[in-house]
Amino acid sequence: MELHAENENKVIIKPPITSIGIIGWMRENLFSTPFNTILTIIIVSVLWISIIPFVKWALINSSWLPDANCRGTGGACWSIISSNYKIILFGFYPQDILWRPVTAIVMLVSLLFISRNRNFWNAFLGYSWLISLMIMGLLLKGGVFGLEPVDIEKWGGIILTLLLSVFGLTAAYPLGIILALGRQSEMPVIKTFCIFYIELIRGVPLISLLFMSSVVFPLFLPEGVSINGILRAQVAIIMFTAAYIAEVVRGGLQGMNKGQFEAADSIGLNYVQTMRLIILPQALKIVIPPSVSVLISAFKDTSLVVIIGLYDLLKTTQTTLSEPKWMGFSAEAYIFIALIYFVCCFFMSTYSRKLEDELNTDLE
Amino acid sequence: MNKETSKKVDISSEDIVIQIVNMHKWFGDFHVLKNINLDVKKRERIVVCGPSGSGKSTLIRCINRLEEHQKGQIIVDGIELTKDLKNIEKVRSEVGMVFQHFNLFPHLTIVENLTIGPIWVRKTPKKEAEEIAMYYLEKVQIAEQAAKFPGQLSGGQQQRVAIARSLCMKPNIMLFDEATSALDPEMVKEVLDVMISLAQDGMTMVVVTHEMGFAKSVAHRVLFMDEGEIIEENSPDEFFNNPQNDRTKLFLSQILY
């Protein structure tokens, strides 16, 4: 009875007002010591000094409409984007049939978004990818169903960037895994080959591989045979990225407990089954963060094809900037393509974190 | 556990299922196993004991070729272990092995741990494999955990799952490599109980263990190994009450008190 009475009379004591809410949070995090207070003031003033002019430049004094006269406004000239976005995004692709690359890119992006959800990973999605890739290819290339043919050399801008990176990354990843397994192999020829390959490729810059593919490689082809420049760059990117992926995956394989191999052996699984079902699922999970780093940097490295004369996103932007009318507005143009790169990389990075969470089986 | 009835399961058949003849093994220059001779009959239960480093784990790991022997013969279920991968995989699918550290597959659920062998090695349809898995999970009294991941189970539970995983392959022989050594004391019994019930069902077992109570009550024969040799081999009664070899006596005096 006493206990009951006590319960009814219980007074709820609230925490002091200075320790909760915004004031409490600010006290705790921004002004907890004199040193922190000084730091807070310095950082706020630096932000104040830098953000205000940037907002003025980028938003208030800026020009947005195509072909606006930007000179002398003192603000950003986003008109360079609105006037030239077709060239920047699609290069020399014929401008009257841009619906074709746009459709292809929309298809690609929707497929990527659907594939984010692992519940949809089944045979149907695989076939959808295959068929969609074929449709995308046909849309871009044309030549059938009354579509006007477009020479591959004219594919540019974001089409080329996405083409090089999507195919580059998806082909390099499995190739890297095979190289990593080969490097662990007990067969001396395979092992030596893989070590040689990985060390050779990692020992040279991507630029030199791209030069090899565009300048040296054609010299060895028989007369009259030529391989498309984009394809050659694509192969160079795949080979380069695969070597890095291989080393990352090898790290994951070495982190595996020997007991896992033995347990798989002891129930009679063969090598391929052991790797596919037991070892790789665990090893690849461990190396998600470093693999994504490699993939992100490979994605950005596709911009190096500039130097062998392919018109990727960076090159089409530079082309626009070389027009006298737009000279001097490089900041705006580069901010624009930086945003495009950032969105793609951010997508990869958030997706990798999502995947890590989903694959985590240690916790409840 | 009913010691008397479990001891009375007689070795009904004289079929030899494991035959080891003049077997030697080296790790580099180190001679780990010296001239091992051992016949294990069907339904026989053998306990191998001895000080650490005596080669007892290596011996049973040779039986399913997790270690390769360099000299002599090992014949399991009529198949001689050689470099032939097909034979090795066949033997491994007939011989179950339970490890000290369980070695469950952490990325798979309990039931997936159990079905992976039947599905991929035996080509059992998934549905049937799941039924087999649930049967053995019932048997080790852990069926309610089927959908969890190994990391969510206690050590004793994990080891029981590991035993069930081996049983799903319907093995003729079970090898236990210090199956209770990594467990907290209060979990040893639940695993030993499963091993005893397996013994009562007539499974052929080769058990490396420090659990002398288990050896006394379950084993038909106890082997004592030291420095890579089988020093003494006897019935449990004789082994514990009347050891012949000095090294056996010393070992027993150190572990029994």
Tens-place pLDDT, residues B114-169 = 999 999 999 999 999 999 999 999 999 888 989 999 999 999 999 999 999 999 99
Q: Nearest-CA neighbor of B60 among B87, B33, B84?
A: B33
What would the two tokens of residue A282 be? Answer: 């665990």
Q: Please tell me the predicted confidence (pLDDT) of residue B10.
A: 52
Whether A268 and chain B come into contact, CB under 8 Å, resolves to: yes
Contact residues, chain A, for B64 at CB < 8 Å:
265-266
Q: Please tell me the predicted confidence (pLDDT) of residue A8.
A: 60
Q: Please tell me the predicted confidence (pLDDT) of residue B6.
A: 46
Helices (H) and strands (E) in chain A, counts: 16, 0
Residue type at A101 in one-letter notation: P
pTM exceeds cut of 0.95:
no
Distance in angstroms (rounded) separating the CA atoms of residues A314 and A318: 6
Q: The tokens 């339904």 sit on which residue? A: B43
Interval A179-196: pLDDT, tens: 999 998 888 999 999 999
Contact map slice: A 277-306 vs B, CB within 8 A: 277-278, 281-282, 285
Nearest-CB residue to B107 (from A259, A269, A361):
A361
| Least confident among A47-51, A336-340, B3-7 | B3-7
Q: Please tell me the predicted confidence (pLDDT) of residue B26.
A: 92
Interval B45-96: pLDDT, tens: 999 998 888 999 999 999 989 999 999 999 998 888 888 888 898 898 899 9
**What angle (nearest 5°) sits at the alpha carbon of residue B44, between those of residues B43 and B46?**
145
Q: Once rounded to an integer, what is the mean pLDDT over residues A277-288? A: 90
Nearest-CB residue to A285 (from B97, B99, B107):
B107
Domains delineated in chain A? 17-60 (no CATH), 84-93+150-359 (1.10.3720.10)
Report which DSSP code applies to A279: I
Specify the higher pLDDT residue, A330 or A241.
A241
The pLDDT confidence band at residue A359, using thresholds 50, 70 and 90, is confident
Q: Once rounded to an integer, what is the mean pLDDT over residues A268-275? A: 91
Interval A196-251: pLDDT, tens: 999 999 999 988 988 888 888 877 777 776 677 788 888 899 999 999 999 999 99
Per-residue pLDDT for A60 more than 50?
yes
Strand partners, B80: B75
Burial annotation A132-153 (CB, 10 A radius, 16+ → b, else e): ebeebeebbebeeeeeeebeee
Give which of A186, A266, A275, A355 to mutate to test B binding, by max B Cβ within 10 Å: A266
Distance in angstroms (rounded) separating the CA atoms of residues B192 and B211: 9
- Indicate if the alpha-carbon torsion angle A320, A325, A330, A333 is positive or negative: negative
What would the two tokens of residue A165 be? Answer: 């990176």
Distance from the Cα of B255 to chain A's closest Cα (Å) equals 28
Q: Please tell me the predicted confidence (pLDDT) of residue A112.
A: 83
Q: Please tell me the predicted confidence (pLDDT) of residue B243.
A: 87
Task: Extract long-range pairs of B27-31: CB within 8 Å, 24+ residues apart.
Answer: B31/B228
CA dihedral A339, A341, A342, A346 (to 10 degrees): 140
Interval B202-238: pLDDT, tens: 899 999 998 888 999 899 999 999 999 999 998 998 8
Q: Please tell me the predicted confidence (pLDDT) of residue A18.
A: 64
Q: Please give the mean pLDDT across all residues of chain A.
A: 83
CA dihedral B185, B189, B195, B199 (to 10 degrees): 140
Distance from the Cα of A166 to chain B's closest Cα (Å) equals 28
